[in-house]
C-alpha cells in the first residue's frame, strides 16, 4: 500500500454540521422603500427542510495540476478521541522576529504551545504565511491551534514560547482507527470507464456499492441542500435541481471531454491534464450584440468552426464554486450524526491513490549570489505513487457567508439597441468586498443576483439548468494575473465583481432606476441574506458622426481669397437614424512650424474669425439627405469614393456623405499655408433638440496660399559676409542664410560686384581698396532708382528647381560655389515662389541703398608664426612656461596646452587647454616673451609635455580671417612629487614558513622607474644579519607567494606587489629595517619586528564529484599545510541531501580531522565499494593535500564540503549529482 501523504496545496477538505431547520428561523422585513420585500418561506420549502435531519456536509477540491487520481475518493471517519498525541515539532526554528517554521512541507493539523509569559499565537499556512487561526494565553497556559493545516506560527512575544508540539497530517493519515464509509468519484458510464485508466466502477456507501451514476443521484438526493436563498416578493422561490437530469447534464457537457483528456494523458503523465484542450465543432450560429449580428461558422475561409475547452479546469471551477456540482461530480458527500458526535465528534479524511511525476528545482552552485548571471535551476523529475490525503478535524456548525457588503452598482458598457431607434441596453457592474478566506470561517463560493425595475416586479439574473431545473449560481474565483502583468483597474484586489447584461436604458428623459439584490453562498449551500443597491441608468449620449476625410484648396489673386472644402462624414445606421447634421469649418495657422508634425485640431470649433462657416443639413429616416443650402453640395458615396446608385446600393451598415462647401472667404495674411479642420455633430430622429459631441479628423487639411509671398528683406553689413576658407582644391563656398518668410519654395540669385557696376556703366572695382568703400559704392548704385531695373538684370538664377533646404535653428541655408581665387564681392538675393511658380517681388533698397542684397567675399587666413617654448619649476614647485613670439605684429592671444606624455602631445586636439592669455604688455617688444604659470600641473615621474598656439585678430577691411598658428614644438618638464615614496610593511603574509618569513611591502615607489632614473630598495634583517639592496626594476616576478618562499631570492613581486623573503631558523623572531629611495635620492625608512609564529593560510577547497552505479565519488582538493600539524588541526565537513527530499529529512553530515584521516599512496589504493560494506570511506593521498571519498547514493544528491583552519576561517564548495 502506497503511503498516505500530500504536499501543501494539493488536496483541500472542508466540512460543517448542517442544521437546515435552524436556517428557517430568519425574520423578514416590510420596508416599503425596497422593490423586493422579504416574504416567508413557502410550505413546500418548509416541508422539505423538516424532512432533513442535521448532518455533516463534506466538500473537497483537488489541485488540477495533479490531474485525476487512479480511483475514486474514499471517505473515512474516526472518533476525535482516538487522535494521536501531539509530538515535539522536528526542525522547529525561528526565521524572523516572532516567526517560527519547521521544514516548509509538513502540514500540522494541531499545534500545542506551552507559554512562559503572555503571548498571542497565530498559525500560518502556505509560502506567503497566510494566517489560519489566532489564540492567546498567559504564563502556564497551553495554546491550541487546530483550525486547519499549518506550516508555521507567528507570535508577538517570541520569548514566551516554552515548548511546541504538533500533530501532522501524515501522522494522522497513517494512524489507526479510521473507518471507510463511502466511495465517491466521477459518475462515468461503463463505456467511459473502459476508455480510461479510472477505476471507479463501484461507488456509494460501503456495503451498498452501486454504479457511478446511481451513486451520484443518491448523493444529490440525500445530501443536496434543501434550502436556498431567502424568498422575495416578485421572485419565484428557490428550488433544488432534479438529481438525475443534473447528473445527465454533467455527463454530456463536461465528462465527455474529460474522458478524452484522461485517455490521452494516463499516469504517470497526469500533469498534462490541466492544460489539455478539447476542440468541439460548432454548428452555424449568429452572435447578436444589440442590433449587430455576426455569423459564426459560415464556412468561409478563416471563419473558425470550433470552440476550445479545457475540461479539467472546468471541472475544478465547478466543484469549487457550486455545491450541486461538487456532489454530482464526486467531490462532496455527507454523513449522519451519531452518538460519538456528542463526545468530541468525528475527524474526517478523504484519500485517493495517485501516480504521477513530481518535479523539484535544484539551484546549481553560484559563487556570486549578489550578481546576475546565475545558472538556471536544474529540474529533477521522479515518478511517485502515493495516496493523496486530506483531513478535517471534528466539524461543527458554521454560519452562512456574510451579506455582500458594501454592494455597489455602476454602468459597465453599452451593448447597443435591438433595432433602429429602439432603446439601448447596457451592462451593469456590481462590486462587493471579498472577505478573507480563513479556515472554519464562512467563505463565499458563489452568488445569486436579481434585478427589480418596479416594486414587486423582479427577475433572477441567473442561468437555469437546461435539464435539471433550478438556477446556476455565479461562481466566484480570485483572478491570478500572469507575472509582470500590470494591475487591471476593472478588477480591484479583494473585490467580487458581478456583471449584468441587457439592462435597458431610456431613449431620452429621466433615468431608469433599478434595485439589485445579491446573496452569497458557501460550498455547502448555505445562503446569506440579500444585500441591495440602487442603480440609475440615464439615456446614452447622442450618437456622434465620424469625419472620415477633409480636403481644402484656396484660389484667388488677392487676400482674402476663397476656399473650397470637401469632407466625407460617416453615420452608423444600425441603431440610430440621422435627423440633422451640423458642420463647422475652421481655418487657422498650423503649429508647430516644419519640419515637426502638425498638432491635432482642437476638440471643438474655435469660433470667432477662425470658424469660416457653420451649416446644418437635414436627412430622411432612411438616410436620404434633404436639399442643402446654397454653396453646399451633398452626395451619398462608397468608401472608395464612387457614388451610390441603383446598381451600387449603399452599405447596409453605414451611410457616407460627401459634402462640399464652396467659396468660403479666408485670409492668409502673408502665411504660406493654413490648417483647415471640419467639425460635425448630429441630432437623432428620436431625440430632437439634443446634439452629439463634435467629431473631427485626427489631422487637419493644409491649404496652400495661392497669392505670391512678400519679398525678403536682407540687411547687409558694412563689410561683406565671409565665405569659407579655400579648401585643398582652392574652392570656397558662400552659405546664404535667411529666415523663411511664408513662401512655398525659394530661389537664390547671384551677381558679382563687377557685374553690378557694369550694369550701371561703371568700371570694375579697385581691388586694393578696402571693403568698406567697395560696399558703399554698391549701396550708392542702389540709391539711384533708375539703376534698379539694370541691377536686377545683372543677377543670375542659381539651380534649376526651387529649393526648400532643411530648416536649422529657424534658418534656411543654400551653399553657393565661388570662383577659385575670386577677390570680388558676390551679391545674393532670395525670393519666394508659390506652387504655381509665381515669384515674389525683389527686395527694395532703403533710402541709403541698403536692404537690397547680401554680400559675400572669400577671406584670407591671418596666421601668426609658430611660438617657441621653455619651462622651469619655481621655488614652490609650480611650472613656469615661457612663450616666445616672432613677427612684426603682436597676436591677440596665446593658448597653452599640456599633456601627460609625448604620445598625447602629438596634437593639441588630444591635449588639455591650460590657459588662454593675451601676450605680455608694457615696454615695446614685451609681447614677444610671455611667462604663463601652470599651478594645476599634476606631480609625477613622467615628464609633462607643453605646446602653445598664437592667434591674431580678424581684419574685415581686407578680408583677413584669424587662423591659429602652427602649434609649437613640445617641451618636456619633470614635475616630481614633493615628498619621498610612501612605505608600509606587513609581516608573515600568506606563504610564510618556519624557515622563511614573507613581508609585504606597499610603497609609492614605481617598479618601472621614471624618466630620470630608477627606484631602489635596501633592507637589513637581524639576527644574521641579512642585507639586500637593489633597484626595483631588477626584482623578479613570482607566480605565488609560495613560489617566492621556496626560492633563494631576497625579494620578489607577486601579483604586482613587492614582497621581501627573510630566511630564519625555525621559531626565530626577526628585526627588519627597510629603506626605499626615489630617483632624486630621497628616502623613506621603516622598521618592523617579525614574530616567530606562522599563521595558517586561508582555507581553499574545490570539489569534483560523480555518481554512477549508486556510488558517489568525491575528489576534494585543499591547501592544508603539509604535513598536517595536529597542533593546528584543520577540520573537513561533508554534507549530503537527497535532491528529491520527500518525505523531508535534514542533510546527513560527517566531520573529519584532516590530520587523523588515513593516508594511501595513490587513488588506486582506495578501498572498493564493491567489497567494502561501509556506507562511506575517506582517505588522504600521502604527501599531498588531496582527499578522496566515496559514499553510497541510490538517488540524486546534493553534496557540500566545508574546510576550516585552526583560526576558524572557512571555505566551501557544493555540487549536484543527479
Q: Please check the confidence at residue 163 and state whether its pLDDT lies above 60.
A: yes
Most confident of the ranges 140-149, 742-751, 1092-1101: 140-149
The DSSP element (H or E) to which 774 belongs, if any, is: helix 771-783
Give pLDDT tens digits for 1-21: 678 988 898 999 999 999 988
C-alpha span between 688 and 709 (Å, rounded):
48
Q: Does 595 sit behind a cis peptide bond, omega within 30 degrees of 0 on the bond before it?
A: yes
Cα distance between residue 475 and residue 520, in whole Å: 10
Find the range with the poorest average confidence among 10-14, 415-419, 755-759, 1186-1190.
415-419
The pTM of the full predicted model, rounded to 2 decimals, is 0.63
Q: Where are the alpha helices (DSSP H) in 167-305?
A: 169-173, 190-194, 212-223, 243-250, 256-264
Instruction: Answer for the pair 409, 430: CB distance below 8 angstroms, yes or no.
Output: yes
Q: Among residues 654, 679, 668, which one has the least CA distance to residue 565?
A: 679
> What pLDDT is attached to residue 28?
47
User: pLDDT at position 299, please?
Assistant: 59
At residue 56, the 3 state secondary structure works out as: strand
The confidence band for 303, taking pLDDT boundaries of 50, 70 and 90, is low
Distances in Å between the Cα of 971 and the Cα atoms of 250, 619, 784 are 98, 93, 62
Residue in the block written with cell 601579483: 1055
Question: What pLDDT, on the 0 to 100 scale, is given for residue 905?
Answer: 92
Q: What is the mean pLDDT of residues 168-196?
A: 95
Closest by alpha carbon to 445, among 520, 394, 339?
520
- 772's enclosing H/E stretch is helix 771-783
Take residue 417 and report the three cell numbers written for it.
Answer: 439597441
Q: What is the 3-state secondary structure (H, E, C) of 52-64?
A: CCCEEEEEEEECH
Q: For residues 855 and 778, is the Cβ–Cβ distance under 8 A?
A: yes
Residue-level pLDDT at 1053: 95
Is residue 44 classed as helix, strand or coil in its secondary structure?
helix
Cell of 217: 443521484
Look-up of cell digits 433595432: 419
Closest among 384, 388, 379, 389 to 356, alpha carbons compared: 384
Q: How confident is the model at residue 896 (pLDDT cuts 50, 70, 90)?
A: very high
Contacts of 634 (CB under 8 A, 6+ apart): 617, 625, 628, 657, 658, 659, 660
Q: What share of the chain is helix, strand, coil (3-state, %, to 5)?
A: 10, 40, 45
Residues 345 and 395 sit within 8 Å (Cβ to Cβ): yes
Cα 1168 to Cα 1111: distance, rounded to the nearest angstrom: 10
Mean pLDDT on 632-642: 94
pLDDT(125) > 80: yes
Q: Parallel, antiparallel, or unpaired: how do β-strands 73-79 and 346-362 relate? A: antiparallel
Peptide bond into 755 cis (omega under 30): no
N-term to C-term CA, the chain: 28
Lowest-confidence segment of 199-213, 335-349, 520-534, 934-948 by average pLDDT = 335-349
What pLDDT is attached to residue 342? 56
Cα 875 to chain centroid distance, Å, stands at 62
Over range 308-320, report the average pLDDT. Answer: 94
Residue 1129 banded pLDDT, cuts 50, 70, 90: confident
680 prior amide bond cis, ω within 30: no
Per-residue pLDDT tens digits for 191-243: 999 999 999 999 999 999 999 999 999 999 999 999 999 999 999 999 999 99
Residue 157 pLDDT greater than 80, yes or no: yes
Residues 6+ apart with CB under 8 A from 1196: 380, 1107, 1138, 1139, 1140, 1216, 1217, 1218
Q: What is the mean pLDDT of residues 37-64?
A: 92
Spacing of C-alpha 975 from chain mean position: 54
Give the count of alpha carbons within 13 A of 977, CB side only: 15
Backbone angles phi, psi at 49, to 5 degrees: -70, -40
The pLDDT score that the predictor gives to residue 273 is 95
Report which of 737, 744, 675 is spatially closest to residue 709, judged by C-alpha positions: 744
Among the listed residues 331, 334, 333, 337, the one whose alpha carbon sits nearest the alpha carbon of residue 79: 337
Average pLDDT over residues 1031-1052: 92
Statement: residue 293 has pLDDT above 80: no
CB half-sphere exposure, 594, CA atoms < 13 A: 16
User: What's the mean per-residue pLDDT of the chain?
Assistant: 89
More confident residue, 843 or 614: 614
- Enter the C-alpha cell of residue 555: 484660389
Determine which of 160-174, 560-574, 789-803 has the lowest per-residue pLDDT on average. Answer: 789-803
CA pair distance 56, 15, nearest whole angstrom: 7
Average pLDDT over residues 919-939: 87
pLDDT at 324 over 90: yes
More confident residue, 368 or 974: 974
The SS3 of residue 759 is helix
CB 556, CB 706: distance < 8 Å: yes
**Closest by Cα among 870, 770, 746 to 823:** 770
Is 972 in contact with 944 (CB distance < 8 Å)? Answer: yes
- Residue 514 φ then ψ, to 5°: -125, 150
In the structure grid, which three cell numbers stand for residue 712, read together? 525678403
Cα-flanking dihedrals φ and ψ of residue 302, to 5°? 85, -5
Over range 863-872, report the average pLDDT.
92
Question: Which neighbouring-strand residues pair with 1148?
Answer: 1136
**pLDDT score for 745:** 84
Q: 168 is written with which cell numbers?
A: 501532522
Q: What pLDDT is recorded for position 30?
A: 44
Render pLDDT for 650-704 as a digit per residue (tens, 0 to 9): 998 999 999 999 999 999 887 888 999 999 999 999 999 999 999 999 999 999 8
pLDDT of 287 reads 57
* Residue 793 grid coordinates: 538684370
* Angle separating helix axes 256-264 and 311-321, nearest 10 degrees: 130
Those residues whose C-beta lies under 8 Å from the C-beta of residue 763, and which sit 6 or more positions away, are 757
pLDDT band of residue 606 (cuts 50, 70, 90) is very high
Q: Lowest-pLDDT range, 81-85, 285-289, 650-654, 1209-1213? A: 285-289
Rg (CA), the chain: 49
Question: Does residue 122 sit in helix, strand or coil?
Answer: strand
Does residue 395 surpass a pLDDT of 50? yes
CA dist 141 and 160 (Å) reads 11
Contacts of 346 (CB under 8 A, 6+ apart): 56, 77, 78, 79, 80, 335, 340, 394
Give, for 726, the enclosing helix (H) or strand (E): none
Check residues 33 and 102 and name the one with the higher pLDDT: 102
Per the listing, cell 582644391 goes with: 729
d(CA 442, CA 325): 19
DSSP for residue 236: P
Percent of the chain clearing pLDDT 70 (strictly above):
94
Instruction: Give the whole-angstrom CA distance, residue 601 versus residue 750.
Output: 42
Peptide bond into 268 cis (omega under 30): yes
Amino acid at each position: 500500500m502506497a503511503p498516505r501523504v500530500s504536499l501543501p496545496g494539493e488536496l483541500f477538505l472542508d466540512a460543517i454540521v448542517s442544521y437546515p431547520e435552524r436556517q428557517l428561523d430568519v425574520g423578514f422585513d416590510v420596508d416599503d422603500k425596497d422593490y423586493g420585500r422579504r416574504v416567508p418561506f413557502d410550505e413546500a420549502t418548509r416541508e422539505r427542510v423538516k424532512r432533513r435531519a442535521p448532518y455533516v456536509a463534506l466538500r473537497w477540491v483537488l489541485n488540477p495540476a495533479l490531474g485525476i487520481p487512479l480511483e475514486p475518493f474514499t471517505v473515512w471517519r474516526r472518533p476525535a478521541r482516538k487522535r494521536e498525541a501531539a509530538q515535539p515539532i522536528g526542525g522547529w526554528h525561528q526565521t524572523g522576529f516572532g516567526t517560527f517554521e519547521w521544514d516548509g512541507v509538513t502540514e500540522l493539523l494541531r499545534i500545542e504551545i506551552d507559554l512562559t509569559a503572555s503571548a498571542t499565537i497565530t498559525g500560518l499556512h502556505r509560502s506567503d504565511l497566510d494566517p489560519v487561526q489566532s489564540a492567546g494565553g498567559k504564563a502556564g497556559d497551553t495554546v491550541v491551534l487546530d483550525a486547519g493545516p499549518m506550516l508555521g506560527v507567528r507570535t508577538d512575544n517570541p520569548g514566551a514560547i516554552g515548548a511546541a508540539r504538533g500533530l501532522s497530517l501524515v501522522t494522522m493519515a497513517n494512524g489507526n482507527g479510521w473507518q471507510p464509509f463511502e466511495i465517491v468519484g466521477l459518475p462515468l458510464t461503463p463505456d467511459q470507464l473502459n476508455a480510461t485508466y479510472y477505476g471507479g466502477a463501484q461507488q456509494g456507501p460501503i456495503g451498498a456499492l452501486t454504479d457511478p451514476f446511481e451513486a451520484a443521484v443518491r448523493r444529490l438526493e440525500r445530501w443536496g441542500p434543501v434550502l436556498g436563498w431567502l424568498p422575495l416578493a416578485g421572485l419565484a422561490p428557490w428550488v433544488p435541481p432534479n438529481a438525475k437530469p443534473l447528473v445527465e447534464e454533467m455527463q454530456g457537457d463536461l465528462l465527455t471531454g474529460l474522458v478524452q483528456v484522461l485517455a490521452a494523458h494516463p499516469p504517470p503523465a497526469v500533469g498534462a491534464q490541466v492544460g489539455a484542450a478539447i476542440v468541439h465543432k460548432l454548428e452555424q450560429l449568429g452572435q447578436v450584440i444589440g442590433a449587430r449580428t455576426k455569423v459564426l461558422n459560415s464556412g468561409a475561409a478563416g471563419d473558425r468552426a470550433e470552440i476550445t475547452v479545457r475540461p479539467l479546469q472546468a471541472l475544478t471551477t465547478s466543484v469549487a464554486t457550486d455545491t450541486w456540482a461538487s456532489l454530482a461530480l464526486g467531490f462532496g458527500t455527507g454523513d449522519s450524526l451519531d452518538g460519538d458526535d456528542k463526545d468530541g465528534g468525528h475527524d474526517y479524511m478523504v484519500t485517493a491513490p495517485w501516480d504521477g511525476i513530481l518535479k523539484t528545482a535544484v539551484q546549481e552552485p553560484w559563487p556570486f549570489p549578489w550578481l546576475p548571471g546565475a545558472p538556471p535551476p536544474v529540474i529533477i523529475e521522479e515518478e511517485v505513487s502515493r495516496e493523496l490525503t486530506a483531513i478535517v478535524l471534528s466539524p461543527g456548525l458554521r454560519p452562512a457567508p456574510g451579506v455582500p457588503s458594501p454592494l455597489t452598482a455602476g454602468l459597465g458598457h453599452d451593448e447597443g439597441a435591438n433595432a433602429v431607434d429602439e432603446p439601448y441596453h447596457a451592462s451593469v457592474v456590481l462590486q462587493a468586498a471579498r472577505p478573507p478566506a480563513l479556515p472554519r470561517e464562512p467563505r463565499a463560493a458563489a452568488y445569486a443576483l436579481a434585478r427589480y425595475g418596479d416594486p414587486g416586479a423582479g427577475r433572477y439574473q441567473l442561468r437555469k439548468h437546461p435539464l435539471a431545473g433550478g438556477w446556476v449560481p455565479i461562481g466566484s474565483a480570485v483572478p491570478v494575473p500572469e507575472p509582470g502583468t500590470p494591475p487591471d483597474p476593472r478588477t480591484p484586489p479583494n473585490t467580487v465583481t458581478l456583471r449584468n447584461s441587457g439592462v435597458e436604458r431610456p431613449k431620452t428623459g429621466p433615468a431608469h432606476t433599478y434595485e439589485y439584490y445579491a446573496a452569497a453562498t458557501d460550498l455547502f449551500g448555505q445562503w446569506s441574506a440579500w444585500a441591495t443597491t440602487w442603480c440609475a441608468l440615464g439615456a446614452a449620449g447622442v450618437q456622434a458622426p465620424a469625419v472620415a476625410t477633409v480636403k481644402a484648396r484656396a484660389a484667388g489673386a488677392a487676400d482674402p481669397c476663397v476656399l473650397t472644402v470637401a469632407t466625407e462624414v460617416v453615420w452608423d445606421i444600425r441603431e440610430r437614424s440621422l435627423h440633422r447634421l451640423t458642420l463647422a469649418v475652421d481655418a487657422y495657422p498650423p503649429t508647430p512650424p516644419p519640419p515637426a508634425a502638425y498638432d491635432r485640431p482642437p476638440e471643438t470649433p474655435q469660433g470667432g474669425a477662425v470658424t469660416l462657416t457653420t451649416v446644418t443639413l437635414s436627412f430622411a429616416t432612411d438616410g436620404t439627405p434633404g436639399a442643402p443650402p446654397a454653396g453646399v453640395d451633398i452626395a451619398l458615396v462608397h468608401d472608395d469614393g464612387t457614388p451610390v446608385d441603383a446598381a451600387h446600393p449603399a452599405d447596409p451598415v453605414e451611410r457616407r456623405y460627401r459634402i462640399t462647401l464652396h467659396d468660403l472667404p479666408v485670409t492668409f495674411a502673408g502665411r504660406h499655408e493654413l490648417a483647415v479642420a471640419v467639425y460635425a455633430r448630429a441630432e437623432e430622429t428620436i431625440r430632437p433638440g439634443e446634439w452629439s459631441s463634435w467629431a473631427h479628423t485626427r489631422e487637419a487639411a493644409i491649404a496652400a496660399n495661392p497669392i505670391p509671398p512678400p519679398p525678403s528683406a536682407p540687411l547687409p553689413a558694412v563689410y561683406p559676409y565671409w565665405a569659407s576658407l579655400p579648401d585643398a582644391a582652392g574652392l570656397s563656398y558662400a552659405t546664404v542664410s535667411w529666415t523663411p518668410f511664408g513662401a512655398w519654395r525659394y530661389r537664390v540669385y547671384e551677381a558679382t560686384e563687377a557685374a553690378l557696376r557694369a550694369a550701371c556703366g561703371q568700371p570694375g572695382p579697385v581691388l586694393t581698396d578696402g571693403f568698406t568703400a567697395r560696399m558703399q559704392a554698391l549701396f550708392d548704385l542702389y540709391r539711384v532708382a533708375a539703376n534698379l531695373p539694370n541691377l536686377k538684370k545683372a543677377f543670375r538664377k542659381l539651380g534649376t528647381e526651387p529649393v526648400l533646404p532643411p530648416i536649422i535653428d529657424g534658418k534656411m541655408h543654400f551653399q553657393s560655389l565661388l570662383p577659385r581665387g575670386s577677390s570680388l564681392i558676390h551679391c545674393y538675393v532670395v525670393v519666394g515662389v508659390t506652387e504655381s511658380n509665381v515669384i515674389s517681388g525683389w527686395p527694395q533698397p532703403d533710402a541709403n541703398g541698403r536692404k537690397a542684397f547680401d554680400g559675400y567675399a572669400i577671406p584670407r587666413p591671418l596666421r601668426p608664426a609658430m611660438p617657441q617654448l621653455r619651462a622651469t619649476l619655481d621655488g614652490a614647485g609650480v611650472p613656469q612656461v615661457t612663450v616666445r613670439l616672432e613677427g612684426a605684429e603682436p597676436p591677440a592671444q596665446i593658448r597653452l596646452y599640456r599633456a601627460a606624455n609625448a604620445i598625447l602631445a602629438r596634437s593639441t586636439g588630444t591635449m588639455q587647454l591650460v590657459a588662454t592669455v593675451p601676450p605680455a604688455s608694457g615696454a615695446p617688444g614685451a609681447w614677444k616673451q610671455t611667462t604663463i604659470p601652470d599651478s594645476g600641473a599634476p606631480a609625477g615621474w613622467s615628464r609633462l609635455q607643453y605646446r602653445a598656439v598664437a592667434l591674431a585678430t580678424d581684419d574685415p577691411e581686407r578680408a583677413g580671417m584669424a587662423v591659429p598658428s602652427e602649434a609649437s614644438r613640445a617641451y618636456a618638464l619633470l614635475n616630481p612629487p614633493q615628498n619621498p615614496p610612501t612605505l608600509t610593511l606587513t609581516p608573515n603574509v600568506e606563504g610564510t614558513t618556519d624557515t622563511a618569513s614573507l613581508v609585504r611591502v606597499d610603497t609609492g615607489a614605481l617598479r618601472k622607474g621614471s624618466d630620470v632614473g630608477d627606484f631602489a630598495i635596501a633592507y637589513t634583517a637581524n639576527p644574521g644579519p641579512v642585507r639586500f639592496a637593489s633597484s626595483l626594476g631588477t626584482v623578479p616576478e613570482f607566480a605565488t607567494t609560495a613560489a617566492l618562499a621556496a626560492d633563494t631570492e631576497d625579494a620578489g613581486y607577486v601579483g604586482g606587489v613587492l614582497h621581501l623573503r627573510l630566511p630564519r631558523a625555525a621559531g626565530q623572531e626577526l628585526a627588519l629595517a627597510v629603506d626605499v629611495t626615489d630617483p632624486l635620492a630621497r628616502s623613506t625608512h621603516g622598521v618592523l619586528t617579525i614574530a616567530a609564529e606562522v599563521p595558517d593560510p586561508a582555507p581553499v577547497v574545490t570539489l569534483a564529484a560523480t555518481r554512477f552505479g549508486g556510488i558517489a565519488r568525491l575528489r576534494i582538493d585543499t591547501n592544508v599545510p603539509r604535513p598536517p600539524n595536529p597542533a593546528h588541526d584543520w577540520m573537513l565537513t561533508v554534507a549530503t541531501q537527497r535532491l528529491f527530499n520527500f518525505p523531508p529529512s535534514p542533510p546527513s553530515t560527517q566531520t573529519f580531522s584532516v590530520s587523523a584521516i588515513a593516508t594511501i599512496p595513490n587513488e588506486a589504493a582506495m578501498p572498493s565499494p564493491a567489497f567494502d560494506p561501509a556506507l562511506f570511506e575517506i582517505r588522504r593521498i600521502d604527501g599531498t593535500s588531496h582527499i578522496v571519498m566515496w559514499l553510497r547514493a541510490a538517488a540524486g544528491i546534493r553534496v557540500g564540503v566545508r574546510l576550516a583552519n585552526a583560526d576558524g576561517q572557512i571555505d566551501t564548495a557544493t555540487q549536484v549529482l543527479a
